[in-house]
Amino acid sequence: MNKAKINYVVDFLMLLSFIVTAITSFVIFFFLPSGVRQGRYQEFFGVTKDVWSAIHVWFGMAMILIVILHFVLHWNWIVCMTKTIFKRTKKNKKNKDKNKSVREGCKE
């Protein structure tokens, strides 16, 4: 698998984990408030609050791991861009060309 396909899969999995985490957070916050109602289990769409919370936690953990993998895959680009943005040289001070790309020289 080439690097572009790996990046696509990692980004897609990151998006998927974000969407699931966001949906479960809204369900937990708005539809399953704290406390037990009348001694019964709280349910939304037939799923208990414990299950919603477990899904939320596991997909959140997966998202953290995928974001770390994303940083690892793009580390060289991050370093190059950081150096490019924060570089203070005479060449940069004299160069007034605003059309020059900041990304020049940084390849993924």
Chain centre distance of CA 11: 8
Report d(CA 26, CA 32) in Å as an integer: 9
Q: Dig out the tokens for 55 from the structure.
A: 């899904």
Q: What is the pLDDT of residue 66?
A: 96
Rounded alpha-carbon distances, angstroms, from residue 42 to 3, 27, 36, 88 = 45, 11, 7, 59
pLDDT exceeds cutoff 80 at 67: yes
Q: What is the pLDDT of residue 99?
A: 44
Give the number of other CB atoms < 10 A from CB of residue 17: 20
Q: What is the pLDDT of residue 11?
A: 94
What end-to-end distance do the CA atoms of the chain give, in Å? 16
Of 83 and 19, the one with more pLDDT = 19
pTM of the predicted model over 0.85: no
Compute the average pLDDT of residues 33-61.
Answer: 81
Q: What is the pLDDT of residues 5-26, one digit of tens each?
A: 999 999 999 999 999 999 999 9
